[in-house]
Chains A and B, each alone.
Chain A
Amino acid sequence: MVKKNDNMSKNIDRKSVADTEILMEERFIEKLNTVIKQNKLAFFSLIVIFIIILCAIFANVICAYGPNAQSLKDRLLAPSFAHPLGTDELGRDTLTRVIYGARISLTIGLLPTFISMTIGTILGLIAGYFGGKIDFAIMRLADIMLAFPSLLLAMVVMYTMGGGLINIFIALSLVNWASTSRVIRSETLSLSKKEYVEAAKSMGVSNAIIIFRHILPNCIPTLVVLFTLSIPSAILSESSLSFLGVGAQPPTASWGLMVVSAKKYLFTQPVLVLAPAMAIMIVVLAFNFLGDGLRDILDPYLKEQ
C-alpha cells in the first residue's frame, strides 16, 4: 500500500533531487567564495603555512648548502647573492638553516600538539560523559596542570630527562592536555544531554560507541580551531626551551637555538638574529590568523545547532 503511494512521489522527486544537487554544488562554490572574501587574512595565512610546509619538506632540494656545512673563511658574511641572509659565526648559510629550522618547528608544532590534544580529548570525553567522581578526579588533575606554568613544567621535564628533540616531544605532550580536556568536557556535557544521545541509549547502544560515534564527531569543529590555535604556542615553547638551552641541542638548526647563538652579533650582524626571529613570528602569526579565521567560519555553524 505504501509502495503505491510512493511511486507517485518518487517520480516527482527524482527531477527535483537532481536539480537540487546542481544547485547545492553551485551554492557550495559561492559559499566558499564568500568565506574566502570574508576571511582574507586567514586564507592568506593558509597559503603562507602551505609554502612553509613545502619548504620544510623539500628543504634538501631547494637549499644550495647543507644546514651544518661550515666554511670558516665565509664567517659572518653580509647578505649577498650567494648567501641571501648572510652566514653565521661558523660560515653556515642562514637562509638554509632557517628553512631547515622550519622542519623542527613544524614537527614540534604539529606532533606534540596532536598527542596532547588526543590525551585531552579522551580525558575530556570521559569526564564530561560519565561525570561524578571520574569527572572530579580528571578535572582536578587538569586544574593542577593549569595552575602550574606550562613552560616551567616543560623545563622541569626537560631537566630531568635531558635535552633533545624526543624529550621536547614528550614534555610538550604531557604539559598541554589540560586546556583541551576542559573545553571538550564542557562540549561533552552539553552534547550528552541531546536527544539523539538519548535516542541512541534507547536503542541499546553502548557508552563507548555513543562517545566515539555520536559525541566526538560533534566536537570536531571545536577541536580543529583548538588545534590550529595550539600549534603556535607549541612552536613558541620549543623556541623558548631551545633558547634557554634545555631544548634542541647544537648543532641542530632550530630557530630558538639560532637566536641564542646569534645574540652576540646582534649589533654587528643583526640579520642573524632577525631571520630566525622573523621566521618564528611569521609562522606563529599565520597559525593564529588561520585559527581565528576557522573559528569565525565554524562558530555560526555551532550556534545554528
Chain B
Amino acid sequence: MDNILTIRDLKVAFQVKGKLAYALDGINIDIPKGKIVGIVGESGCGKSMTAMSIMGLIKNPGKIVGGSIDFCSTELTKISVRDYAKIRGKDISMIFQEPMTSLNPVVKVGKQVMEAIILHEKISKEEAKMRVIEIFNEVGIPEAEKRFNSYPHELSGGLRQRVMIGMAMICKPKLLIADEPTTALDVTIEAQILKLMKKLCESVGTSIIMITHNMGVVAEICDYVYVMYAGRVVESTLTKTLFNETAHPYTNGLLKSIPTIGKKQDRLYTIKGNVPNILNLPEGCRFVDRCDYAQDICFSSRPADEYIKDNHMVSCFLYKRIEDEKCSIKFKKHS
C-alpha cells in the first residue's frame, strides 16, 4: 500500500522551566492513500498535537525536536514557512472541533470558503463562487446560493460543520485531518457528517486522519486505528482487529468504558487515575500506574513497539510475556 504520510519517531517538546517536556515522544504513524485512519485516546494524549505538527502549526514554546514527517515525499519538518502555506489548505486541510468558533462571525460563510480556493488556485471570483456553491450542494447545504451570503450565526451547528467540511474539501486535498469533527454535534447530525466525510473522501481519494475519543466513531468509519497514550502510540491495528483482539490494557480499558445497551451496570467502568503529567512521567511504562496488569518490569523499563501480527503493533510487556508462554490473552470481553 502506498502511504501518503509517514511519520517516523516524531518528537515534539515544550520548554518548561528549562526542562524539555515531551508532548509527543517518538510516534510512528502511516496514513495509506484513500483510507480513514483513526487516532484515539484520552484528552491530553497528544492527538491534537499530532495533527498540529502535521499542519506545522505548533505554537510556541512547542517545537519539533526530532523525527520526520514525510508527506508525498516532501519532508514537512524541513520546508520553509512559505512552502508550508502552499501545502496547507491545498494538499492537507483540517476540520476543527468547534464549528461554532471556527468560522469568523463577521465574514459571510461563502466568502470564507472562497478564500481557501482563491488562495491556492488561480481562478476568477465568479468561478470561485460557482465552485463554492457546487461544494455547498455536495456537502448537503440546502439553498446553497442563499447560504453563500449567510453569516455563521445564521446557521445551525450541523450546517456550520458542513461549511467547514466544504472549506476543507474545496481544493480536493490529499489528506484531511479531522480533529474531533463531531464532538460538538448531536448524535443524529454526527452520523450524517461522518457519512458525508466518508463519501466525499472516497470520491476524491482523500485520506482522513480522524482524531476522536469516541470509539463509536472509530468503529463506524475508520479502516485503521492508532491508540495514543501520553504522547506515545500504544497500539495500532485494523479497526476490526482492535475491537476483536484487543491487546493493550489501555485499549481494553477504553473499550470497557463504553456503556452498553441492554446490560445493567451499577457503575460504568473507568480507567482509574489520570493521564500522567508529561513533566513527571513514570520511569517505566507510562500507563503503569493505571494498569491492572502491571508487573515489576513495567515499573523499571519502557516496552518497545512489538508487532504481534501483521498490522498489529502493541507496546506492552504483558503481551510479550503472554506470547512467550504461548498462551492466549484473556481479557474480560468488553461487550
A residues neighboring B (CB under 8 Å):
1-3, 5-6, 9-10, 13-14, 17, 194-196, 198-206, 209, 213-214, 217-218, 220, 305
A202 and B55 in contact, given A196-B103, A213-B107, A214-B104 (Cβ under 8 angstroms): yes
* Bound Cα distance from A262 to B90, whole angstroms: 70
Check B88–A204 contact: CB distance below 8 A: yes
> Could you say which of B57, B139, B140, B199 contacts A202, with CB atoms under 8 Å apart?
B57
Evaluate whether A203 and B167 lie within 8 angstroms (CB atoms) in the complex, with A2-B138, A5-B140, A195-B98 already known.
Answer: yes
Can you name 16 A-B pairs with beta carbons within 8 Å? A6-B140, A195-B97, A198-B57, A199-B102, A199-B164, A202-B89, A202-B93, A203-B89, A203-B167, A204-B85, A204-B89, A204-B90, A205-B116, A206-B85, A218-B105, A220-B106
Let me know if B87 and A199 touch, CB within 8 A. Answer: no
Give the docked Cα–Cα distance between A196 and B152 (Å). 11
Decide: B199 and A1 in contact? CB cutoff 8 A. yes
12 additional A-B pairs beyond A204-B120, A209-B115, beta carbons within 8 Å, are: A2-B137, A2-B140, A6-B137, A17-B146, A195-B101, A202-B88, A202-B94, A203-B88, A205-B116, A213-B104, A217-B104, A217-B106
Q: Cα distance A169–B93 when bound, in Å?
A: 48
- Pairwise interchain contact A9-B142, C-beta atoms closer than 8 A: yes
A201:B88 contact, CB within 8 angstroms = yes
The yes or no answer to B86 lying at the interface (CB within 8 A) is yes
* Residues of B bordering A, CB below 8 Å: 55, 57, 84-90, 93-94, 96-98, 101-107, 115-116, 119-120, 137-140, 142-143, 146, 164, 167, 196, 199
Which residue of the partner chain B has the closest CB to A24? Answer: B154
From A9, A10, A205, A218, B89 is in contact (CB under 8 Å) with: A205
A5 to B103, CA, bound (A): 26
Q: A202-B55, A203-B119, A217-B107 are in contact. Are A196 and B101 (CB under 8 A)?
A: yes
Report how far A79 CA is from B316 CA in the complex, Å.
99
Q: For A203, what are the chain B residues with a Cβ–Cβ distance below 8 Å? A: 88-89, 93, 115-116, 119, 167
Task: Find chain B residues with CB under 8 A from A202 CB.
Answer: 55, 57, 88-89, 93-94, 96
